[in-house]
Amino acid sequence: MSQTHYVTTAIVYPNSRIHVGWAWECLGADWLVRSLKLQGKDAFFATGMDEHSLNVQRAAERQGLTPKVYCDQMAEDIQRVLRQMGMSYDRFIRTSDPDHEWVVQQLVKRAFEKGDIYKARYEGHYCESCEAFYTEKDLIEGNCPQHGKPPKWITEENYFFRLSKYQEPLLKLFEEHPEFIQPDYRRAELVNFIKAGLKDFSVSRSTFTWGIPLPFEPQHVVYVWFDALINYLTAAGFEYKLKEPDGARAREFEARWAGAVHIIGKDISRFHCVYWPAMLMSLDLPLPKQVFAHGFITLKGDKMSKSTGVMVTPDEVVAVTGPDPFRYYMLAENRFSEDGNFTWEALLSKANADLANDWGNLVNRSINMARKYFPDEALAMPAPSAAGSASAAASGAAEVRASFEKLPAELADAIRRIDPGAYAAACTARSRVLNLYIDRTKPWALAKAATPESRAELQWVLYTLLEGIRWTATALLPLLPFRMPEVFRQLGIEVPAEKGALSALKWGEKTYRPLEPSPIYPRIELPKTE
């Protein structure tokens, strides 16, 4: 079975509603999956919800609900918002799913039997918001480095994982596979963290009950990170690998896991690039192919965070702009590998400039001209003799075609680097190429001249415009999945299949009989209440 590109996001805490920061992560993963499929590749996308934590238990208690009932309600809300954004996930995994609980217990037992999980007493700093333990040197002026507030000092008897045992294998991983963590400038921090000396970490808690019981001591529940990270295996179908190692579903899991890419926030890089590989080494399982750590989205300079209350929710934005402008702004305006920003003003400026003006007007006026100047004719690729080779239309068409035939390679490079901003820039550059082509050839003047030569040139111009719009709309499908099908409908052609549309593009293969156009992206204005 050929390798599948298996793309995951971090699974989100349901202790409050999701915000635009996590939505950015989901949008990046969704763009990557859709783009891979557009290239003709197999891809599987998993996201979900991390339920077993003290934070979630307390959120449920505040509402007078059991944790399970509370999580059921939050799962419904989160998936509703993900659908509004157009997330194309194949599995929404919950850590309370029966197959996940079973897989976790099997793997905890395996690590315990290997001697990599042991019981000990712990005293130290614990941040409840992070669900993480910190050493004194990790703290910043006595505060959690992520949440800026003092952690609690706790004393518990827990089970621990022998992370320290895997210090050298982890250093070897980063030396031999520098591509494991991307962007590559995050590697040095992780290597320094490992070289400073790894400490064993807790894999159980006995002070609360909302979690997966340890198979060898049910009074303890599996600590959130050991539980949460295993979700990537469960969502890929690892249950079948354990139950029927030689079966078809087990081979399906193997094909996915061989191409696993975790899209995460930079604040949880240590868990995914140190804890997680060590756990997999202990379990004698292959490592994921890559971890990509994106930056934070800020709101007026502050990191979006549930704990601080600095947040805007995706459905608040979509209610004003619609899903495509929101997706486009988040992916095109911000560099995914670095910190980004959200402002309503920048969103409207970007969406109106690129979608309503450059792209939307291009589609609308090109189709209008095709219908006006060739009302009773289908527009096919003109024969080379249809206009003189020295004409502005024919020579300009060749330049446009050359630009578009470079587009798939540019997009492939952006996909390889997980750079949706570069992908979007390559697409918008083509809409500007077409707008410039209109300005240079002046199709209205060619139509007014009304000579056989000018009409032949006009055919070149309009066909080139419609063909360029088709190529651009195809490339934009992963960014703008809601409205791009309407572009194809107005062109009078079928929407391309999800898989392989980009690799199948050939210049000049379509014949157009456009339909009455309507604005693809009207200008957006903020309600006065904003």
Q: Is the pLDDT of residue 306 over 70?
A: no
Distance CA 518, CA 312 (A): 31
Q: Please tell me which residue, 140 or 256, carries the higher pLDDT value.
A: 256
Band the pLDDT of 529: cuts 50, 70, 90.
Answer: low
If you ran DSSP here, which 8-state letter would residue 308 be given? Answer: T
Q: What does the pLDDT average to over 322-342?
A: 96
Rounded distance between C-alpha atoms, residue 50 and residue 11, angstroms: 5
> What is the average per-residue pLDDT within 499-525?
95
| Residue 300 vs residue 186, higher pLDDT | 186
- pLDDT on residue 166: 98
- Report the alpha-carbon distance of residue 228 to residue 53 in Å, rounded: 10
The mean per-residue pLDDT over the stretch 279-285 comes to 98
Domains, the chain? 344-491 (1.10.730.10)
Averaged pLDDT score across all residues of the chain:
92
In this predicted structure, the answer to whether residue 389 has a pLDDT above a threshold of 50 is no
- Give percent above pLDDT 90 in the chain: 80
d(CA 482, CA 78) in angstroms, rounded, equals 19
| Distance separating alpha carbons of residues 164 and 229, to the nearest angstrom | 18
pLDDT tier for residue 386 given thresholds of 50, 70 and 90: low
Does the global pTM surpass 0.75? Answer: yes
- DSSP lists the bridge partners of residue 12 as 49
C-alpha to C-alpha distance for 354 and 88, rounded to whole angstroms? 24
User: Is there a cis peptide before residue 183, judged by omega within 30 degrees of 0?
Assistant: yes
Confidence of residue 390 (pLDDT cuts 50, 70, 90): very low
Are 476 and 441 in contact, with CB atoms under 8 Å apart?
no
pLDDT of 87 > 50? The answer is yes
- Is 90 exceeded by the pLDDT of residue 195? yes
* 121-144 burial code (b ≥16 CB/10 A, e <16): ebebbbbbbbbbbbeeeeeeeeeb
CA distance 170 to 194: 8
Q: If you average pLDDT over residues 475-485, what whole number do you get?
A: 98
Specify the length of the chain in residues.
530
pLDDT tens per residue, range 20-58: 999 999 999 999 999 999 999 999 999 999 999 888 998
Closest CA to 234 of 107, 56, 86: 107
Among candidate residues 27, 111, 44, the one with its CA nearest the CA of residue 282: 111
Instruction: Give the pLDDT score at 152.
Output: 81
Of 150-154, 169-173, 196-200, 306-310, the one with minimum mean pLDDT is 306-310
Mean pLDDT over 307-325 rounds to 88
| Token pair belonging to 137 | 């040197």
Any residues with CB less than 8 A from the CB of 395 and at least 6 apart, and which?
389
* Nearest residue to 512 (alpha-carbon basis) of 489, 485, 491, 496: 491
Tens-place pLDDT, residues 208-239: 889 999 999 999 999 889 999 999 999 999 99
The answer to whether residue 115 scores a pLDDT higher than 80 is yes
pLDDT of residue 530: 47
